[in-house]
Amino acid sequence: MCKYTLTIIKPLAVKNSHVGEVLQMINVDGGFRIAGMKMITLSRQQVKEFYKVHKEKPFFDSLTNFMTSGPVVVAVLEKENAIEEYRKLIGKTDPKEALSGTIRKLYGINIQANCVHGSDTPENAIKEIQFFFSTSEIFDEEGNLIDVSIT
């Protein structure tokens, strides 16, 4: 069981001023501790690498354009069984199919601009966290630096 997952609050949610509400749902309502967080813009190369499992999909170019269209917020989230718990909190990929009360249902616009990303396996969570964060950017509850790959 993995304690950590990675989320990305996607460009349209940042543009539409939903960062505060989404973080409230994650941190306060959802009980995830925020172990690391920053606002960045992604390069096309970063998006292509991050979403490389989808490189043959018809939506890959469109997804690359979308994910580079403005700043995103990336965060490392901690909770017992974080990956599954977070996928539950965000809901299905298509906001139309997501259960009511989920982040994607509330703030997703369509299947592409679905507000947030969430890691899908422990292996991917660690890889994705290391893709965006160095070991000097992730903290435990006391503020000490942690290495998510060995906890």
Residue 117 is a catalytic residue? yes
Using rule CB under 6 A, residue 131 touches ligand ATP: no
* Chosen residue from 46, 69, 112, 130 binding ligand ATP by CB under 6 A: 112
Using rule CB under 6 A, residue 111 touches ligand ATP: yes
Q: Least distance (Å) from ligand ATP to the CB of residue 141?
A: 26
Q: Least distance (Å) from ligand ATP to the CB of residue 124?
A: 9
> Which is closer to ligand ATP, CB of 85 or CB of 139?
85
Rule CB under 6 A: which of 60-79 touch ligand ATP? 63
* Chosen residue from 114, 128, 132, 133 binding ligand ATP by CB under 6 A: 114
Q: Where are the beta strands (DSSP E) in the chain?
A: 4-9, 33-40, 72-78, 116-118
Q: Least distance (Å) from ligand ATP to the CB of residue 41?
A: 17
Burial class, 134, CB count within 10 angstroms (exposed 0-12 / middle 13-18 / buried 19+): exposed
Give me the sign of the Cα torsion angle 1, 86, 36, 129.
Answer: positive
Q: How far apart are CA 49 and CA 88, in angstroms?
A: 25
- Give all strands of the β-sheet with 4-9 in edge-to-edge order: 33-40, 72-78, 4-9, 116-118
Strand pairing report for 116-118 and 4-9: antiparallel
Catalytic residue among 90, 117, 119, 148: 117
Q: Where are the beta strands (DSSP E) in 10-53?
A: 33-40
**Number of residues binding to ligand ATP, judged by CB under 6 A:** 10
User: Catalytic positions, please?
Assistant: 117
Binding site for ligand ATP (CB under 6 A): 54, 59, 63, 93, 111-112, 114, 117-118, 120
